[in-house]
Structure formats: structure tokens, C-alpha cells
């Protein structure tokens, strides 16, 4: 695997692969890789012939009181894991390479409606930062396929919409959430949990399951299902931002006859903000 830090170097490698007729698959990440990210590369390997991963902690998607400065950065370990997973090119730019004029006044990509609900309501500007950096990375890498984890379901929905609206020539692939044996969704932020919080954290997944079971059984009192989920998390000491049943296609409010549903939650536990979701196909 080769490591590059400049836009020019990525473009040169990918242009060469495209000229050889190779299909290029891309996995954007913020580094501190774990088994969940490795599964994204494995998914990419089923969809392409050359593989690019980016490692970039994007300042634009962090709020002023969020963990940008402390976000875990482990570049040497990331490089080892990507090489072992069969990645061909690791793109690890610094902030100036991506935002040469600073990120505050940079041109932005907004996906209104989808960006200001659920996590967007509690993290204003977050999805604008995500959409902007992903659009920039797509312009830089020019992939045929890009892979995103379904754990960040709202993020994937927003990126799908951006790609459709801006006619970007890239195929998006969602990869299933990778979980610890006790059901906790893998996330770099799990390391913020104390031992006691870590023991509690899988309750998020169990609470989503309880809601999904009710929906699968045909219940359609969404407000009651949301209330029960919120209260179960609160009783265990979580501070839920939301526990919501939505249409899986566009995150709108479902009706009694909506077939594809998703239950999503974001909840704080100690220093960590955990997110997870489950889909229900009727
Ligand atoms: O999901 C992430 O790790 C980030 O939001 C992404 C897509 C790499 C953009 O910075």
C-alpha cells in the first residue's frame, strides 16, 4: 500500500488506474480504524479493483464544544490495518490540503431537511461539514464506488441525496453495522466509555431490538414505541438526544402503511455520544 498526503498524488494514481480500465472503490474515514472500518474495505473489495481509503479528521463537521482536538488519531496503526485489509492507496491529507483557505468560510454543501433533523438537531452544522468534505473527497479521488457504514444511517441518507442532487458519477454502497459480541455497534467513540459505562452500552442495541420487535409484530403507535425506548435508556442512566421511528427511505415520519422503517437513536453515556439504528422491512 502506498501512502500519499497531496491531492495531486491521489489524482495521479487514480487517473492511471482509470486509464488502465480499473474500477476504483473508495472508503472515506476519520481514522482510528477498528473492525467496522475493515469490513468497509472488505465490502469495497467486492465492488472494485483498486482501493483507496482516506484518513482525515474533518474540522468542519465538529461543533465548537465537540471532540475535534481529542478525537483519537492513530495513523501508524491505521496504515497497518489498511495494508492488511488489501487497500492500495491511503490518502492522509492535512487540514490545509483540504481547506487551503480555512474551513470557516469555505464553499459548503447543504442538504436541507435531512441535515437538520435527528442528529442534525443536536449537532448544528455537522452534516453540512460531512456533505462538504465528502463532496470534496469525491472530487479529489473520483471513485467509481464509495462505501459507507450503515451505523451512520442519517449520514448515508444525506450522502445518497447529495450524490443524486449533484449528479455525482459514483455508486454508493452501504455496509452493515459491525457489532461487538454483546451487540454494541463498533465506534471510535466507544473508547470514551468507562468500564461501567461499557457494560451498560449494549442496552442501546437491546432497546432498538425491543422497538423493532413491536413494529414487526404490527404495532403502529410510533409515539408510544419512541417513548418506551427513551424511557428505557433514561432509566439506565443514558441521556438520549432522540429515539425515533422513521421512514427508512427519507427519514420522514412514517404512516400506518409505511413498509420500510428504521428505528434510530443517539444517546449520551458519560463522555460518549453513541448512535445506532435498526431497519425493519415490512
Ligand atoms: O463517517 C465518518 O467517518 C465521517 O463522517 C466521514 C464520512 C469520513 C466524513 O468525514
Number of domains in the chain: 2
The three cell numbers of residue 48 are 472494485
18 CA to centre of ligand 1 in angstroms: 25
Alpha carbons 74 and 89: distance in angstroms, whole number:
17
Check if 152 has its Cβ closer than 6 Å to any atom of ligand 1. Answer: yes
CB 151 within 8 A of CB 177: yes
Residue 49 lies in a domain: yes
What pLDDT, on a 0 to 100 scale, did the predictor assign at position 104? Answer: 86
Alpha-carbon dihedral 33, 34, 39, 40, rounded to 10 degrees:
-30
The three cell numbers of residue 184 are 454494541
214 CA to centre of ligand 1 in angstroms: 32
Residue 32 lies in a domain: yes
The three cell numbers of residue 204 are 442501546
CATH code of residue 216: 3.30.1300.10
- Are residues 128 and 61 part of one domain? yes
Alpha carbons 200 and 195: distance in angstroms, whole number:
9
**Ligand 1 atom closest to the CA of 61, numbered from 1:** 10
- Are residues 139 and 266 part of one domain? no
At residue 67, the 3 state secondary structure works out as coil
Structural domain boundaries enclosing 207? 188-277
- Are residues 111 and 85 part of one domain? yes
- Are residues 151 and 37 part of one domain? yes
Alpha carbons 200 and 197: distance in angstroms, whole number:
5
- Are residues 26 and 123 part of one domain? yes
**pLDDT tens digits, the chain, 282 residues: what are they?**
999 999 999 999 999 999 999 999 999 999 999 999 999 999 999 999 999 999 999 999 999 999 999 999 999 999 999 999 999 999 999 999 999 999 888 899 999 999 999 999 999 999 999 999 999 999 999 999 999 999 999 999 999 999 999 999 999 999 999 999 999 999 999 999 999 999 999 999 999 999 999 999 999 999 999 999 999 999 999 999 999 999 999 999 999 999 999 999 999 999 999 999 999 986
Query: Cell numbers 438520549 label which residue?
Result: 240
Alpha carbons 203 and 184: distance in angstroms, whole number:
8
Q: Determine whether 37 is an active site residue.
A: yes
Check if 58 has its Cβ closer than 6 Å to any atom of ligand 1. Answer: yes
How far CA 129 is from CA of 55, 62, 148, 179, 186, in Å, comes to: 15, 8, 16, 26, 22
Alpha carbons 88 and 72: distance in angstroms, whole number:
24
Q: Which of 18, 34, 37, 209 is catalytic?
A: 37
Residue 63 lies in a domain: yes
Q: Which of 127, 143, 175 is the last residue of a domain?
A: 175
- Are residues 129 and 11 part of one domain? yes
What pLDDT, on a 0 to 100 scale, did the predictor assign at position 281? Answer: 87
The three cell numbers of residue 275 are 448512535
* Among the listed residues 43, 53, 56, the one whose alpha carbon sits nearest the alpha carbon of residue 82: 53
Residue 282 lies in a domain: no
What kind and span of H or E run contains 206? Answer: helix 203-216
Residue 111 lies in a domain: yes
CATH code of residue 74: 3.40.50.620
Check if 98 has its Cβ closer than 6 Å to any atom of ligand 1. Answer: no
168-219 tens-digit pLDDT: 999 999 999 999 999 999 999 999 999 999 999 999 999 999 999 999 999 9
Alpha-carbon dihedral 111, 117, 122, 126, rounded to 10 degrees:
-10
Burial 229-247 (b: 16+ CB within 10 A, else e): bbebbeeeebebbbbbbbe
- Are residues 202 and 69 part of one domain? no
Alpha carbons 151 and 164: distance in angstroms, whole number:
21
Residue 28 lies in a domain: yes
What pLDDT, on a 0 to 100 scale, did the predictor assign at position 272? Answer: 97
Entry field: residues in the chain: 282
Q: Which of 175, 207, 241 is the last residue of a domain?
A: 175
- Are residues 192 and 171 part of one domain? no
What pLDDT, on a 0 to 100 scale, did the predictor assign at position 179? Answer: 98
- Are residues 166 and 209 part of one domain? no
- Are residues 118 and 199 part of one domain? no
- Are residues 98 and 18 part of one domain? yes
* Among the listed residues 241, 85, 91, the one whose alpha carbon sits nearest the alpha carbon of residue 175: 85
- Are residues 94 and 54 part of one domain? yes
Q: Which of the listed residues 40, 130, 146, 177 should we mutate to test ligand 1's pocket, taking the one with most ligand atoms within 8 A of CB?
A: 130
pTM value is: 0.97
Alpha-carbon dihedral 279, 67, 53, 172, rounded to 10 degrees:
30
Q: Which of 175, 201, 228 is the last residue of a domain?
A: 175
Residue 180 lies in a domain: no
What pLDDT, on a 0 to 100 scale, did the predictor assign at position 91? Answer: 98
Half-sphere exposure of residue 281: CA atoms within 13 angstroms, side-chain side: 0
CB 51 within 8 A of CB 86: yes
Alpha carbons 161 and 167: distance in angstroms, whole number:
10
Residue 182 lies in a domain: no
Amino acid at each position: 500500500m502506498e501512502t500519499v498526503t497531496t491531492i495531486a498524488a491521489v489524482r495521479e494514481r487514480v487517473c492511471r488506474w482509470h486509464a488502465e480500465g480499473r474500477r476504483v472503490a473508495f472508503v472515506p474515514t476519520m481514522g482510528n480504524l477498528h473492525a467496522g472500518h475493515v469490513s468497509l474495505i472488505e465490502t469495497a473489495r467486492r465492488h472494485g479493483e483498486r482501493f483507496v481509503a482516506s484518513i482525515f479528521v474533518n474540522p468542519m463537521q465538529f461543533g465548537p464544544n465537540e471532540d475535534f482536538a481529542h478525537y483519537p488519531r492513530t495513523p501508524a496503526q491505521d496504515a497497518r490495518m489498511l495494508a492488511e485489509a488489501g487497500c492500495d492507496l491511503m490518502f492522509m491529507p492535512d487540514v490545509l490540503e483540504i481547506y487551503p483557505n480555512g474551513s470557516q468560510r469555505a464553499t459548503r454543501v447543504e442538504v436541507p431537511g435531512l441535515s437538520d433533523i435527528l442528529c442534525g438537531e443536536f449537532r448544528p452544522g455537522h452534516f453540512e461539514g460531512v456533505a462538504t468534505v465528502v463532496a470534496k473527497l469525491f472530487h479529489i479521488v473520483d471513485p467509481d464506488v464509495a462505501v459507507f457504514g450503515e451505523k451512520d444511517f442519517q449520514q448515508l441518507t444525506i450522502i445518497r441525496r447529495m450524490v443524486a442532487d449533484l449528479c455525482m458519477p459514483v455508486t454508493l454502497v452501504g455496509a452493515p453495522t459491525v457489532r461487538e459480541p454483546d451487540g454494541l455497534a463498533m465506534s471510535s467513540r466507544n473508547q470514551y466509555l468507562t468500564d461501567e459505562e461499557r457494560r451498560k452500552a449494549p442496552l442501546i442495541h437491546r432497546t432498538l431490538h425491543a422497538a423493532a420487535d413491536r413494529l414487526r409484530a404490527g404495532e403502529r403507535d410510533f409515539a408510544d414505541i419512541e417513548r418506551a425506548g427513551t424511557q428505557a435508556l433514561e432509566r439506565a442512566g443514558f441521556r438520549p438526544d432522540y429515539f425515533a421511528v422513521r421512514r427508512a427511505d427519507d427519514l420522514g415520519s412514517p404512516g400506518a402503511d409505511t413498509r420500510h422503517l428504521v428505528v434510530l437513536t443517539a444517546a449520551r453515556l458519560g463522555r460518549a455520544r453513541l448512535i445506532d439504528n435498526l431497519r425493519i422491512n415490512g
